[in-house]
Amino acid sequence: MYKKIHLNQCGYLPYSEKKATFRTDSAPMFNVCKSDGTAVLSGTADVSVSNKASGETVFVVDFSSVTEPGRYYISSDTCGESDTFEICENRYGDLFDASVRFFYLQRCGCDLKPEYAGLYAHPACHTGIGSVKPFVMPKLPPFVQNGKDFTYTPAFENDTAYDNTTLEVSGGWHDAGDYGRYISPAAMTVAQLLLAYEYNPKLCNSYHLDRSGSVSENGALPDYLAEVKYELDWMLKLQRPDGAVYHKATCGSFCGFILPQEEKEEIFLSPVSLTATADFAAVTAMAVRFYAPYDSAYAKKLGDAARLAYESSQKMNPASSFINPAGINTGWYSDRNNEDERYWAAAELYRAFGDASYHEDFQALASRGILHGYGWTDMGSYGNLAYLATEYPTESVLKDKIKASMLSLADAKKAVCLAEGYGCSLQVDEYVWGSNLAVSNNGIILYDAYRMTGDSSYLHAAEAQLSYLLGRNPMDVCYVTGFGTNPVKHPHHRPSGFLGKAAPGMLSGGPCRWRSDPLAKSLLPEDIAPAKAFVDMTGSFSTNEIAIYWNSAFVLLLALCCRE
């Protein structure tokens, strides 16, 4: 927080909204200047905000009228100078490239080539066989009980037919700062990356693994879709012959800060779950339309897998949940409410195939209430998009109800943005683990409303979320590694920690008022302002970890804000 003028450190598109936040108690005079010192806009920052999330008074300046491409800075009589920033048409091209290339760096089970991965190249990792062990009930930790009675219900009773079997499960992407691989966050990640391609194919097709664009290992398939396919190929491996899908493939515990090829412990397949199976059904059905133009056989494989998974999910106990079996201590990704996963699956399969049964299932679930969410715990928004976009017959009243609900949600998010000194869409109590994911997903929700209405106020609110992530925040940090004038430098990411340099293009989790790791507890006071509960140190996994599904949300938001 060495600056008192906070703005988007990565710059702006010419016609995007541009705002800066001044940390000061009195209204400052300001000048927006070209890099040669010529002032192009002057005034007084007279919009004052008592910002609860950051515990300070700030002033806001709107300089959206400055549209001419060039390099600029803002000066103030009391706040000094801002970082220099650029306005230009393709301002986020390199940022987008790095944010997508991150997924290549997260690849598991193959050699990462030096010409593509640079410092982060490594030989194939986690190539061992995964094993299915008989389920043993663990001693539940306190956070699972959460002060309430908890009864574990498996997806299937007496599900022992596949015990002691093995499966080849190499591939996919390492989930986060660790090397586990999990179906539900994988499904969310793939869905968001595919939506980015659907809404901004021009930008996505500009991505080339070989930066010159002259070499492609994927034939006619765009490199962007080829990267997503790498994750889908792994997901397909985790489906059992009966259609059910294993929840995750991990070692027994998290490893230390070593390179991925050095983790050689046994790989375990955790029990199948309803959430994993429904998420799998939804995202493989969704993927059909993206891959059909390039490989009809692969598209059919995806479609068949989706139908089989959906059939299996219908046979599972709807009251079931997931817990780590005894001996497995990696990420839970447990979600006791699986209604939104089933909601998304029904809508997505109906969009893909048009079967009346899928429509009836979606209508039945929607009759209980319209669901929302772009995160791995709340998947409703994907279902809404699928139902609104299907070419098959729909119920007009239900579509109107979905649209109205989506707009109502966006209006609530926009109201928070307009009242917040940094334009952030989070309420004070929403700065939790992975808060930057919520910022990105809120931006997507706001853009949904812009796409439906054409009302530019929603677009500006979505752009404000991007600016928050890129520097206009109380920490004055660009939360994407390798970008901006003050980027995150020490993320909780094993390869980056081991090699001593942050891989570029990774979105940090961001402020977490819970202070859920020992480092955050020791360095941050208990009463710290929620938006400042951030530690740029490798050990702070609750504020500074990275994850594939945080990056996918950022990629989608960036693709939306860059639409022409």
Residues serving a catalytic function are 178, 492, 536, 545
To which residue do tokens 């002033």 refer? 59
**Cα–Cα dist 263/244, whole Å:** 28
CB under 8 A, 24+ apart: contacts of 248-251: 248/180, 248/181, 248/182, 248/183, 248/276, 248/330, 248/331, 248/333, 249/130, 249/169, 249/172, 249/180, 249/181, 250/179, 250/180, 250/181, 250/182, 250/328, 250/330, 250/331, 251/179, 251/180, 251/330
DSSP code for 141: P
Find the helix packing angle between 380-389 and 435-453, rounded to 10°: 20
Amino acid letter, residue 112: L
Q: Is 267 helix (H, G, I), strand (E, B) or coil?
A: strand
Do the strands 129-131 and 248-250 form a parallel or antiparallel pair, or are they unpaired? unpaired
For 36, counting Cβ atoms within 10 Å of its Cβ (0-12 exposed, 13-18 middle, 19+ buried), the class is: exposed
Contact 388, 347 (CB under 8 A): no
To which residue do tokens 């020791």 refer? 522
Give me 143's structure tokens: 């956070």
**Cα–Cα dist 510/533, whole Å:** 8
The dihedral over CA atoms of 297, 298, 301, 302, expressed in degrees to the nearest 10, equals: -140
What secondary structure does DSSP assign to 417-438, as a single string? HHHSTT-----GGG--TTHHHH
Give me 64's structure tokens: 């959206």
**Cα–Cα dist 130/249, whole Å:** 7
Q: How many Cβ atoms from other residues are within 10 Å of residue 376's Cβ?
A: 24
Q: How far is CA 443 from CA 20, 344, 449, 564, in A?
A: 18, 20, 10, 17
**Cα–Cα dist 177/289, whole Å:** 31
DSSP code for 129: E
Contact 247, 323 (CB under 8 A): no
Ranges assigned E (strand) in 63-126: 70-76, 80-81, 85-87
Contact 6, 73 (CB under 8 A): no
